Structure 1
Amino acid sequence: MRGILRTTLLSAAVMSICGTALAEDWQLAKDEDGVKVYLSAVPGSKYKAYRGVVDIKADVATINALQEDVKGSCKWIHACADMRLLKTEGGDTWTYSKISMPWPVTGRDVVIHVTTEKTPDGGMIRHLNGEPTFTPEVSGEIRVPKLVGEWKLVPKGAGVTEVTYQVQTEPGGSIPSWLANSFVVDAPMNTLKGLRSAAEKR
């Protein structure tokens, strides 16, 4: 589970900002098909943090199982090119992901350390932190130097779970402004739509 969660975060991470605590002024950027995406400026960064929120007609266990399927999760995570589990230790997981970028932008990769916290209401929070030096850099990829985020699953009753996906990152290298601006909206929007579709088919 940590694998997929970590990976989902990876893809999202690829274009946001650095430090969830720094993103506070959330503004609604897009509301489409039941998914709301909010953006926030982050002091000291030129990239915005993003937060996506959606209600999914599936219980926490179902969504958790999808997130634990590391390889399978790449199918519904935005811009995911590859994803694999590196290490599991107790409740902690480390994953490696490659993020696709449109030509001629160089692709990114990211190593994410995921810790899972169960909440009293039966939900869970997966905390995501980038660890760029956990594995050697890969030729042809730009390693994401900084990423902070979380997945939050809150049971709402009647088999419905509210899912929040939030990420702030520094993508490393240079990213065209048009791509950065579209990624911070598309990443949470498409990832949550994909997760919802997979979960509600089960």
Structure 2
Amino acid sequence: MRAVVLALLMLVSPAWAAEWELNHEGDQRGEVTTYVREVSDSPVKAFKGVVELKASTTSVLAVITAVDTFPEWIFQSQGAERLTMEEKERIHMRFNGIWPVADRDVVLANTLTQQADGEIHLHSENADGFKDKQQGFVRIPALDNQFVITPLADGWVRVKFETFVDPGGNVPVWLANLVSTRAPLVTLEGLKAQLQKPQFANATREDLPGLPGMEVLKL
């Protein structure tokens, strides 16, 4: 437990964290760049992906809040279900394991906020007490994830996807860190593909779910 707490503190406290290490650099605007970094007292690296896209903030927000489509684009996503929007959105996510490990699941509490400069943050962290452990799945004991959407000039946005996860159970370090290098690239490439669909490319505020915090966003 101490290791998990310290690892999460490292994620949210940059003064304590190792520097990000470039893993994959996109060749031009619109391509994904990814990073990893060591996390104190954890064998699993944190990871981050960044991409600039010709899209509206509303369209990106529509993709990352459409829970039923998560398996189409989020790395190894098997399924997702919105459990409640009371006070805070809580979702149950299931992930396909990569041999030799079992499938994983997690219940997340999401917080949606906007900064003074218009930047939107969707922050996810573990939530307890909303769904019992599921047969055939190992419950992820610690996950801290955020999407950051930053409006840019001329109809572009920057999307950052940053995660630390303790997958729980018996996971080889090489496999955990393979996930760290693949997850941000696959996920952001998947988000780009989703944005080509009319339901997201043409999304308006009325198409967004009524999540806590959504009503105060300036879009």
Instruction: Give TM-score, length-normalised by structure 2.
Output: 0.79
Deviation at 1:124, TM superposition (A): 0.5
Deviation sequence 1:114-154 (CA, Å, 0-9, x none): 00001222230011111244321011100000111211000
Identify unmatched segments of 5+ residues in structure 2.
1-6, 202-219
**Cα pair 1:150 1:166 within 8 Å, conserved:** yes
Query: Are 1:21 and 2:12 counterparts?
Result: yes
Q: Which has the higher contact order (CA 8 A, sep 6+)?
A: 1
Query: Are 1:110 and 2:106 counterparts?
Result: yes
Specify whether residues 122 and 200 from structure 1 end up closer, same or farther in structure 2 by C-alpha distance, changes over 3 A only.
Answer: farther
Identify unmatched segments of 5+ residues in structure 1.
1-16
Query: 2:25 is aligned with what amino acid?
Result: D
Deviation at 1:21, TM superposition (A): 2.0
Deviation at 1:102, TM superposition (A): 2.2
Per the alignment, residue 119 of structure 1 pairs with: 115
Aligned counterparts of 1:133 and 1:38: Cα–Cα separation in 2: 33
Larger radius of gyration: 2
Aligned counterparts of 2:66 and 2:75: Cα–Cα separation in 1: 16
Query: Following superposition of structure 1 onto structure 2, how do residues 39-50 of structure 1 map, counting pairs within 5 Å?
Result: 39-50=36-47
Aligned counterparts of 1:111 and 1:128: Cα–Cα separation in 2: 10
Aligned counterparts of 2:37 and 2:145: Cα–Cα separation in 1: 13
Query: Following superposition of structure 1 onto structure 2, how do residues 144-155 of structure 1 map, counting pairs within 5 Å?
Result: 144-155=140-151
Aligned length: 185
Deviation at 1:94, TM superposition (A): 0.5
Aligned counterparts of 1:28 and 1:152: Cα–Cα separation in 2: 19
Flag as ranges the 4+ runs of structure 1 deviating above 3 A. none
Deviation at 1:103, TM superposition (A): 2.8
Q: Please say which of residues 22-31 and 40-49 is displaced more in the overlay.
A: 22-31
Instruction: Give TM-score, length-normalised by structure 1.
Output: 0.85
Query: Are 1:30 and 2:24 counterparts?
Result: yes
Tell me how large the CA RMSD over aligned residues is.
Answer: 1.6
Aligned with 2:43: secondary structure? coil
